[in-house]
Each structure stands twice: as structure tokens, then as C-alpha cells.
Amino acid sequence: MRRYSRIAGTGSSLPPRRVTNADLAAELAQRGIETSNEWIIERTGIHARHFADPAVTSSDLGAEASRAAIAAAGLTPQDIDLIIVATSTPDMVFPSAACIMQNKLGIAGCPAFDVQAVCSGFVYALTVADALIQSGSASRALVVGAEVFSRILDFNDRTTCVLFGDGAGAVVLEAADTPGILASDLHADGRHTGILCVPGNVSGGQVLGDAFLKMDGQAVFKLAVGVLESAARNVLQKAGRTEADIDWLIPHQANIRIMQGTARKLKLPMEKLVVTVDQHGNTSAASIPLALDSAVRSGRIRRGDTLMLEGVGGGFTWGAVLLDF
């Protein structure tokens, strides 16, 4: 009998410190940087974001989100036999955030590794976990997106520092007799590495280059809407479904205009668009599982609903997953 995978539980974690646009504008004003609540909302749709305290790491947030997902699935940490963490802000160069998180969860022995595809990371990680479950290599996978992007923001650059936040989201993906994950579609185009990157590295005990996030917002915007539509249509075709079958669109929460543009291209009413960017900002690989958990726990997403997850990020990477929840 063929094996499939389905989402058994979801969870999320946000740092307690909530920073509104007004809070951020006041902080930036002390640096001589001018911005405002209205300016940020008009361009991004963001009203607030969460920033982690200095001692809090991606694995801390990921572990908290994972505990919630494991509990929602009715399991214990010892039931997990695969851990994949999507992150661009790991705790350290190595070992992986997944291995550090594995220890915090009290799990030992199962494979644990990170996936680095920036804001597309959760879609990549979910696709890898699905393939390993289908192959019989795992039965219950913990798939996590966790980020502390506040650590790599240049607070002298108002075009980027207002966009991002910290957080984590997680799902438990388990083997099933009927399909949960219906199809996926992953891509990358390294010709566009320069439009969204952190061009620094560690050498000789020092940071070489620039360790702050750099982004060409216009270039990202132009690429994002087109590739997200293409990936969405590809997974619909692979799954033998149409736009009318989508109950909820859960895109990477980067910018409300990109998200709404994608929904329009798929002829979806805005009521089917899950939006958390207004309260979370852009949490990179954490944004999709954060939005998913928010919609599940609020009762909007129910068992049997068909979900389109899609992300786009530095690399340039993009992808989509269609699933029955």
C-alpha cells in the first residue's frame, strides 16, 4: 500500500515583546531615521511585529512551537522520528538548529537537520519531509520554521528594518493511508542572489563583508507575484485540482500587496487569504506555519479543507504545496 503524509498538528511561538509601528518609528527617530505608522502600513500592510530578547534563539522559539504542535497531534516528543528546521538565522554556524532543538525537546537518535531556502524554507522542508515519509524513512516528522531576523536587520535602513519580525511555527507530519500532501513544486534561480541577501561570512574569527540584510524591494516584488502564480498553478495541475478547490491560500507573509496580487491572479476572494503579516511582519521561514497555526486555532481552517501554501525568498527560491488538511 502506498504511503502518504498528512498534517496531524500545528503550533507556533512568538516572543513576548510586541513592537508596533509607532514603537519602531520612535526608536528609529532616535537614530535620525524618519518613518511613520502610516508609511509602513501603506507600503507593507504591517502594523506590528515581535522581537526576541537577546538571549532567545531560533531553536528556543522552534522548540516552543514544536511542543504545541506535538500536543495538538496527541503525541509525545518521543513519537517523533525526523526533525527538519527551516531557518536563515540558526543559533550558530554548527551544529544545526534542528540538532539543538532536538536536545531541548528531549529527543535523541532520529535524523535532524536544517533547510536553508530563506522565506521559502518551510515549503522546502515540508516537501522533503513528505518525500521521506512516503519512502518509509520516517513516520512522524516535525517540520519547523524558526527565525530571529531582528539579529540581521540594519536599523539605519528604514526600507528593510520595518519589514521583519521573529517567531516560529511547526507542524507534525505523519504517515497516512490517504493523501494529505497532494503535490509540491520547488524552484530556485541563483542569478538573482543579489536582490535579497546577507552578504557576510565568518573567517578568522571575524565577520567579513556585511552581516546585515540587503534587499532590492522593487526587484523582489516584480519576481514574486509571477513566480508564486506559476508555482500555484503547477501544483494544482499536478494534483488534478483547480483554483475553485482552494479553501485557503496561505502565502509567505512578506507584503500585503504581493499576497493580494497572488490571490487575484488565482481568482480567489480575499476572504480565502490568510493574513498575519499585519501583526507578525515578515518572519521568513516561520511565516507560513505561523499563519497556518493561527488560522487553525481560530477555527477558520477545519479538517478536510484544501490549503495552498506558497513562499518566495532569497536565493532566489520559490515553491508551493497543495494539501488537504
Are 236 and 243 in contact by the 8 Å Cβ rule? The answer is yes
Is 119 an active-site residue? yes
Are 312 and 228 in contact by the 8 Å Cβ rule? The answer is yes
State the catalytic residue, choosing from 119, 197, 255, 280. 119
State the catalytic residue, choosing from 21, 197, 234, 252. 252
CB neighbour list of residue 136: distance below 8 Å, 6 or more residues apart: 3
State the catalytic residue, choosing from 21, 234, 255, 282. 282
Is 252 an active-site residue? yes
Cα pseudo-dihedral 99, 103, 106, 111, rounded to 10: 20
Is 197 an active-site residue? no
The string of DSSP letters for 178-191 reads S-SEEEEEEEE-GG
Q: Residue 56: how many CB atoms within 10 A of its CB?
A: 18
C-alpha cell at 72: 495538538
- Crossing angle between the packed helical segments 256-265 and 217-239, to the nearest 10 degrees: 40
Q: Residue 156: how many CB atoms within 10 A of its CB?
A: 12
Known catalytic residues are 119, 252, 282
